[in-house]
Amino acid sequence: MFNNIAFNIKLLFSKERELYVLLYKTIGLFPNDINVYKEALTHRSNTQKTNDGKHLNNERLEFLGDAILDAVVADIIFKHFNNKREGFLTNTRAKIVQREHLNKVGLDLGLDKMVISAAHTQSHNSYLYGNALEALIGAIYLDKGYNSVMKFVETKVIDKELKEFAEEELNYKSRLIEWTQKYKTSIEFELVDTSFDKYNSPIFNSAVIIAGTYIAEGSGYTKKESHQTAAKAAYIRINEDKEFCDRLLTEDQ
């Protein structure tokens, strides 16, 4: 009780009481060491130099948080799905820690209002808020320990039933490649063109070609992302258009 009173008095007179309160609303915990959270919320575009010459940004905490998040999510799904095999557990974890999902969680938590970064870094391909979320997890781990990270991940990062994550389709490219292997036909991913968004970030447009036939296109802020969106469109097409699928396979004989 004495410690709580002492902390409240400290908070009352702190110059950073607004940040303390904001972090409490975000992570459900009052920080012990506010500085590690400030570091977690500092993007490399706004790197600060400390008195001892170190460059302060959230890249190191992002590295730590990434590893801790993997371990915590593995811990959670291992205990939840006690009869599932390694492949199922690996795929489910991948869906939870994928960049798109972490970026969404970061935005839902309001990290876009908390991260300190240069204006030109606010682009889709940087996954800035997902990276900041990982850095925040690293900060929680250093400040509060593993169990606090576990609680945060369970309540904030896994934002729906684990069963829903398990049933989600994640890697359309892999499924499409498996489909072409099943029917012994060829598949290629070809870069069609590259453009730029309003932040001058590159947008890649890729096409899926199966058995020498153009199937679909997709765009993304990385080549990998454009392959996935193109693969999803192609996978949906060959599954929904039976006549086209039959003609494609027949022509490949």
Tens digits of residue pLDDT in 195-213: 987 777 788 999 999 989 9
Catalytic residue among 16, 33, 39, 66: 66
Q: Which CATH number fits domain 172-251: 3.30.160.20, 3.60.15.10, 3.40.50.2000, 3.40.50.10860?
A: 3.30.160.20
pLDDT in tens, 160-171: 778 777 766 557
Residue with more model confidence, 53 or 188: 188
Catalytic residue among 39, 62, 134, 143: 134
Tell me the C-alpha distance between 150 and 131, whole Å. 18
Q: Does residue 134 have an active-site annotation?
A: yes
Q: Does residue 225 have an active-site annotation?
A: no
Which helix (H) or strand (E) segment is 147 a member of?
Answer: helix 146-152
Q: Which CATH number fits domain 2-167: 1.10.1040.10, 3.40.50.1100, 1.10.1520.10, 1.25.60.10?
A: 1.10.1520.10
Where along the chain do its domains lie?
2-167, 172-251
pLDDT in tens, 75-111: 999 999 998 888 788 878 888 898 888 988 999 999 9
Confidence tier at 252 by pLDDT (50, 70, 90): low
- Give me the half-sphere count of Cα atoms (radius 13 Å) on the Cβ side of residue 15: 1
Tell me the C-alpha distance between 74 and 93, whole Å. 6
Residues belonging to the chain: 253
Task: Give 33-39's long-range contacts (Cβ < 8 A, gap of 24+).
Answer: 33/142, 33/143, 36/61, 36/139, 36/142, 36/143, 37/136, 37/139, 37/143, 39/135, 39/139
